[in-house]
Structure 1
Amino acid sequence: MAFATGSGKGKPMADINVTPLVDVMLVLLIIFIVTAPIVTYPIEVDLPQRVINPPPQLREPPPPIDLRIDASGQVNWNNSPVATTELQAKMENEVQRDPTNQPELRIDANPDAQYDVMAKVLAAAKNARMQKIGFVQQQ
């Protein structure tokens, strides 16, 4: 109904009907008002802080721990097999030797390894409070 007759003169009136446009814009406004608070929830991330004068490194860091996970799910601690149930105890022993100078845990996972084994290894490292965890990929 964009064209309507005028006030009896017989000329068509060419005004645009903006009612549907206003309706669509109001619906979009309501959608943005409802979804905007969802985006504003903060996600807590612990980022490393910049240190201007780092303390001198007086002690030699301990040798790293090489943890290898093969495709069958077997975990090797420095080339010796270990059960996933014993990992946390071994990691806690390493941390308790010197909590301020922990060894680096280097995890080498086979691309075909199951995620469940990797999740157990990472959970054990977190529960043992290991701070230096690295991922390596050997060719």
Structure 2
Amino acid sequence: MSFGGLEKPAGYRPMSEINVTPLVDVMLVLLVIFIIAAPFMASRLALDLPQTEQSDAQVTQEPDAFVSIAIDPQGQTFWDEEPISVEALKQRLQDTARANPDSEVQLRADATVPYGRVVELIGLSQAAGLSRIGFVTDELPGALGAPAAPAR
């Protein structure tokens, strides 16, 4: 008669497969962290935009096609938050006008930028064939439609 307890055990054999479950768990957690943190890591151009009073009735709808041009306090011009030279700006404005002449130029200029610099960009846009120009501003605190500052 053969009993199982009388046989000598063969011993433990090393595992030949890698357990990938912990690796997948860590990678998914890292992916979620990067998805959440990505918008915060994007470089934003810090501008002190002019402030104006505006109500919800004065705000128009977002245009179908637009380009965003910004001028920082040092006078540097940006195309969608990327620095650009005047020559390259002229070329991009002409390309945009050829592709869609109804595109709007949304101009964001710091409050300290001289008026002449803003007019220069308006002239470049019109010379390229883009006549729709929008000025982006911040809303004054306490203005109609703006949340009032808390009383202390």
Alignment TM-score, normalising by the size of structure 2:
0.46
Alignment TM-score, normalising by the size of structure 1:
0.50
Question: Which protein is bigger by CA-based radius of gyration?
Answer: 1
